[in-house]
Amino acid sequence: MFGFILRRLVSTVPVLILISLVTFLLMHSAPGGPWDRDEENGKEIPAAIKKLLDQEFGLDQPLWRQYTGYVIGDYRNADGSFKCGAICGNLGPSSKQRGRYVQDILFSTNDEEATWLQSKFGFSVRLAIYALIFAVLLGIPLGVIASIKQNSVIDYVVTFCSNIGVAVPNLVMGVFLIIVFGVQLKLLPVVAKEWNTILPWVLPSLTYGLGTMARMASYTRSTMLDVMRQDYVRTARAKGAAEHIVIWKHMFRNTLIPVITILGPALAGLIVSGVTIEAMFGFPGMGFDFFRAISNRDYSMIMGTSLLFAALIVIANMSVDILYGLVDPRVRVE
Amino acid sequence: MAQIAKPLLQLTKAQIDAKLANSENQWQLAWRRLRRNKASLISMIILIVFLLISLVAPLIAPHNPLEQRTTNFQQTPPFWQAQSPAGKDYNPSFILGTDSLGRDVFSRIIYGSRTSFVLSLLPLAIVMLIGMLIGFTAGLLGGKVDNILMRITDIFYAFPDTLFIVLIFVTVGNTAIGRMANGVLLFALSIGILFWVGLARLTRGQALTLKGREFVEAARSLGASQWQLMWKHIFPNSLSIIIIWAAYAIPSFVLIEVTLGFLGIGLRPSLDPNEIFLTSWGRLLLDGRNDIQSQPGFLLGTVGTIALYVISLRFFADGLRDALDPRQKG
């Protein structure tokens, strides 16, 4: 098991290197740099100051050195000593929010008492977790009920709703929810100012999780129907096991194995779709920050955030692989 | 077996030809199954209507989609609210009302369908080209080539795709390629570069399975080249699976445009009435989101259209899957 986990960990390294390299090259092929316009007065920065800024941020170095300097580190401190790069968790200074480092922007807050949960990263993670909890806690039981009562009214309703839920993009679903609950019924805030109470979280998490929930429900249902016809279920019934034991111990447990496999893509999808959901609800997470950094040409911010996104996706896929290996021993051998 | 085979052997060649002419081939059979499926038939009709609308948009649109009216001319749909707050009657020819610049929403949605239709098919062509080329090559040649190609595929698989399309648009969006056709071309290209992975894996698997089948072995022993094997035997036998994959991929292409447009980085806004891609649904979604309090009809109309289009695509894909490959039926 240890070897299996180690192999999966090592295989993520080339992926991360390539992602950071492509991001870096794309970013530098973009016309215009971070000093192109000053937002406050719209004036151009004088060439001499531009040169100083380039030196300060290391943009005067050749491209390869900028890249290695960002990822591994470079002798760039004022006294010529070594400054560690992204592998030490240093994501570089932000060129738009002067004086702050990317990791500070993402992981900490101005408030001294607040924990990391109040940071941009914490907000995004919490939203994704709420959405996933909602999707799993509602999607799987719905699928189980629908399969047990196959061809009943409940089954048809669940199947129809999950078909619609899979087909309708969560952006569209979010708009519907905003119009119904926010604009017409005025039950929930459209754009929240405070995120301390539970109400403003309801719509984003619902929107976020609905597609995943529908996919969970339909997948659980079809897997349950498959498992139901297996011989060991008939054996369990024949030996006189109570119906709820047959359902939960024999059928449901074996249903979980394939259901776990779609958890990985679901998690990765949640992380990426965060950008739009956060933009729609004005959510103070890192997805929205990523979007703003792109239009600001904030190089190290784009680099840092997309590396973080990529790492999260890779970790999500990997942890599901490992989970799968734990549940189903056959996987480990390969 | 002998009882069936004997009468067949006694038939003359002309009789056999006649029998074969009467029998249905795979595609006729699939078409018959597809027609029987009501949900997919209805969605197919809806999709055809969308295609027609996008082709003859100038004839159908009740107003010029670019014509701006006076600054305070923003009206909610007449069925939603018959009169403005000042007590003036709303013009019923603006079916879904107007946006904040006084442009007719309904006409803009009709013109937006052009973009979405092209964006469903153009990226698909690129994805198919790359995906099939890599997948079939890897599966047919095997060995080292297969190993290298599959490592590359694995790396692309782990790429956060939406994130990268956002990056591509922000970085290359202002160059000559990015400006072509208001960004539609760049869009198709970037999807093509990122989305071939699934198809490559699928076609590789197909090539590997079919390679071991008797009819391919027979063709090879008769001296067929790799190229002939691929075009004459492996490709036709994988076609139905490729079509099913494509049908499920199209909605995601449309949705990426919608997502990007909503973030304000999709297509370039156009003021030239001679251009084909004047606006897109993603762009309209963003505008509608900004007018949500004053003009909910705008957003509702756009969202309803997108939902109808995507749901039709999905249900059609379901029907296609059941018709072409009944074993996969879920």
Q: Split chain B (330 residues) into runs of 10 and give each run's mean pLDDT.
A: 57 76 78 84 92 86 76 65 66 75 84 87 92 91 87 77 78 74 84 88 88 88 87 87 88 86 76 77 83 78 88 87 71
Spell out the residues 6+ positions from residue B147 whose beta carbon is closer than 8 angstroms to its own. none
- Spell out the domains of chain B, with CATH numbers in brackets: 38-323 (1.10.3720.10)
Ranges of residues in chain A with a pLDDT under 70 are 30-44, 76-81, 98, 110-114, 191-192, 294-295, 297, 299, 328-334
B163 at interface of A, judged by CB pairs closer than 8 A: yes
Answer whether B255's CB lies under 8 Å from A169's CB.
yes
d(CA B208, CA B234): 10
- Please name the member of A22, A176, A290 whose beta carbon is closest to the beta carbon of B303: A176
The alpha-carbon gap from A170 to the nearest alpha carbon of chain B, in Å, equals 10
Residues on chain A touching B318 (C-beta within 8 angstroms): 163
Question: How close A112 gets to chain B, by Cα (Å)?
Answer: 32
Decide if A164 and B160 are in contact by the 8 Å CB cutoff. Answer: no
Q: Is B158 on the interface with A (CB under 8 A)?
A: yes
CA of B19 to nearest chain A CA: how many angstroms apart? 39
Chain B residues with beta carbon closer than 8 angstroms to that of A321: none
Least Cα separation, residue B286 to chain A (angstroms): 9
B286/A contact by beta carbon, under 8 A: no
Nearest residue, CB atoms, B168 vs list A26, A171, A273: A26
Q: What SS3 class is residue A139?
A: helix
| Contact residues on chain A for B292, CB-CB shorter than 8 A | 178-179, 183, 190
- Using the beta-carbon criterion (under 8 Å), do B296 and A183 form an inter-chain contact? yes
> Which residue in the set A31, A172, A279 is minimally distant from B307, CB to CB?
A172
A310 and B296 within 8 Å at the Cβ level: the answer is no
**CB contact B310 to A (< 8 Å):** yes
Please list, in sequence order, all residues whose beta carbon lies within 8 angstroms of the beta carbon of residue B232, skipping any fewer than 6 positions away: B219, B224
Distance CA A233, CA A254 (A): 10
Cβ distance B265 to A294 less than 8 Å, yes or no, reads yes
Picking from A175, A305, A308 by the largest number of B CB atoms within 10 A of its own CB, the best residue to mutate is A175
- B-chain CB neighbours of A29 within 8 Å are 171-172
Cβ <8 Å between A183 and B167: no
Q: Render pLDDT for A119-157 as a digit per residue (tens, 0 to 9).
A: 888 888 888 888 888 888 999 999 999 988 888 898 888
CB contacts < 8 A (A, B): 117
Is B83 strand, coil or helix? strand
The answer to whether B18 contacts chain A (CB < 8 Å) is: no
CB contact under 8 A, A175 and B285: yes
Instruction: Give how far B160 is from chain A: nearest CA, Å.
Output: 6
A245 to chain B, minimum CA–CA distance in Å?
26
Q: How far apart are CA B214 and CA B219, in angstroms?
A: 9
The phi and psi torsions of B101 (rounded to 5 degrees) equal -100, 5
R_g over Cα of chain B = 25
**Does B259 contact A at CB distance below 8 Å?**
yes
What are all long-range contacts of A197-205, with beta carbons under 8 Å and residues at least 24 apart? Answer: A200/A281, A201/A127, A201/A130, A203/A174, A203/A177, A203/A178, A203/A281, A204/A127, A204/A131, A204/A174, A204/A277, A204/A278, A204/A281, A204/A283, A205/A127, A205/A130, A205/A131, A205/A134
pLDDT at B291: 78
Complex ipTM over 0.95 = no
Nearest residue in chain B measured CA to CA from A164: B311
Residues of A in contact with B262 (CB under 8 A): 171, 276, 279-280
Nearest by CB to residue B171, choosing from A30, A272, A313, is A30
* Cα–Cα distance for residue pair B200/B140, rounded to 1 Å: 12
Are B161 and B179 a contacting pair, CB within 8 Å? no
What is d(CA B310, CA B43) in angstroms, rounded to the nearest whole number? 10
CB of B159 less than 8 A from some CB of A? yes
| B258 interaction partners in chain A (CB closer than 8 Å) | 169, 171-172
Given an 8 Å threshold on Cβ–Cβ distance, is A30 in contact with B168? no
